[in-house]
């Protein structure tokens, strides 16, 4: 278990470093509509990281996926606790590296790439952010996890397709969140509380506002999704 836990730590750190720097690069590009580039970047990065880590540790790299895996009985609660701890440490490591290399103007402009719902009154309310966080997380679980936790279907379509479905669901959810709001102060759904934790601890400031949304929303979505899977027809349940 300690090897898998270490893998989760390293994988989460590398994923968040790559993902955050890529998103900031997209936003800083001269492209008129960077919001179309970001989902594509998320898809590519998530796909390759999932493809690499799924055979090693399960490729969770997020407390959300770890929590739903524990609910579904895919991993034990003890293993889940170790994984979540490793993912949070990995996030801190990733953003320590980013903070040491990022341009200071970009750091201030994007709050170190953290999860933000209000930029000096320009963002959205915590209630609306919670609704988006819950809805988008549920979409990812319904589209991606339903397939990923179905062993028979995974064998039928193969690891590459499963990783592609998961990565595509995450990219789609993020695109939806930034498309329907159109607010400069809103950074989009977190989908990964560990991603929100690192910048919060290192940068703080306005990132504290509504931070609970990025934890409560996904975990409530996991609980609702788990209840939903219990109603699925025999043979299609993820349990």
68: tokens are: 């739903």
Q: Residue 178: pLDDT band by 50, 70, 90 thresholds?
A: confident
Confidence of residue 4 (pLDDT cuts 50, 70, 90): very high
**CA–CA gap between residue 73 and residue 228 (Å, rounded):** 15
Note the pLDDT tens digit of each residue in 31-81.
Answer: 666 677 888 999 999 999 999 999 999 999 999 999 999 999 999 999 999
Domain boundaries, the chain: 2-229
**Which two structure tokens, joined as six digits, stand for 232?**
């699925």
Q: Provide, rounded to the nearest whole percent, the portion of the chain with pLDDT above 70.
A: 91
- Its sign, for the CA torsion 27, 28, 29, 31, is positive
Q: Is residue 231 very low, low, confident or very high in pLDDT (cuts 50, 70, 90)? A: confident
Mean pLDDT across 17-27: 90
Residue 24 and residue 21: Cα distance in Å, rounded?
5
What is the average per-residue pLDDT within 140-168? 90
pLDDT in tens, 130-144: 999 999 999 999 999
Burial of 182 (0-12, 13-18, 19+ CB in 10 A): exposed
Residue 59 in tokens: 């490729």
pLDDT tens-digit map of 179-193: 776 566 677 788 899
Highest CATH level, class, for 2-229: mainly alpha
Size of the chain, expressed as the number of residues it contains? 239
The H-or-E segment that residue 188 falls in is: none
**pLDDT at residue 139 in the model:** 93
The pLDDT of residue 70 is 95
Q: Is residue 19 over pLDDT 90?
A: yes
pLDDT of residue 239: 46
| pLDDT at res. 187 | 74
pLDDT (tens digit per residue) in 98-120: 999 998 888 888 888 888 887 55
Cβ atoms < 10 Å from Cβ of 119: 17
Query: Tokens 């988008």 correspond to what residue?
Result: 136
């Amino acid at each position: 278990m300690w090897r898998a836990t270490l893998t989760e730590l390293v994988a989460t750190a590398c994923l968040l470093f790559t993902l955050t720097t890529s998103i900031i690069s997209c936003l800083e590009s001269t492209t008129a509509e960077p919001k179309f580039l970001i989902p594509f970047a998320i898809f590519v990065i998530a796909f390759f990281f999932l493809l690499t880590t799924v055979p090693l540790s399960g490729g969770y790299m997020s407390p959300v996926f770890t929590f739903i895996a524990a609910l579904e009985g895919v991993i034990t609660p003890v293993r889940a606790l170790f994984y979540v701890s490793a993912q949070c440490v990995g996030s801190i490591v990733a953003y320590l590296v980013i903070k040491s290399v990022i341009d200071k103007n970009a750091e201030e402009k994007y709050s170190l790439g953290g999860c933000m719902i209000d930029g000096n009154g320009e963002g959205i309310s915590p209630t609306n952010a919670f609704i988006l966080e819950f809805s988008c997380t549920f979409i990812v679980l319904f589209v991606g996890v339903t397939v990923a936790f179905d062993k028979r279907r995974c064998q039928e379509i193969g690891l590459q397709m499963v990783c592609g479905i998961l990565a595509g669901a995450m990219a789609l959810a993020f695109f939806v969140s930034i498309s329907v709001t159109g607010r400069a102060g809103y950074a989009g759904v977190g989908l990964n509380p560990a991603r929100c934790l690192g910048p919060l601890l290192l940068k703080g400031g306005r990132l504290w506002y509504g931070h609970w949304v990025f934890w409560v929303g996904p975990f409530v979505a996991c609980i609702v999704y788990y209840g939903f899977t219990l109603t699925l027809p025999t043979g299609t349940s993820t349990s």
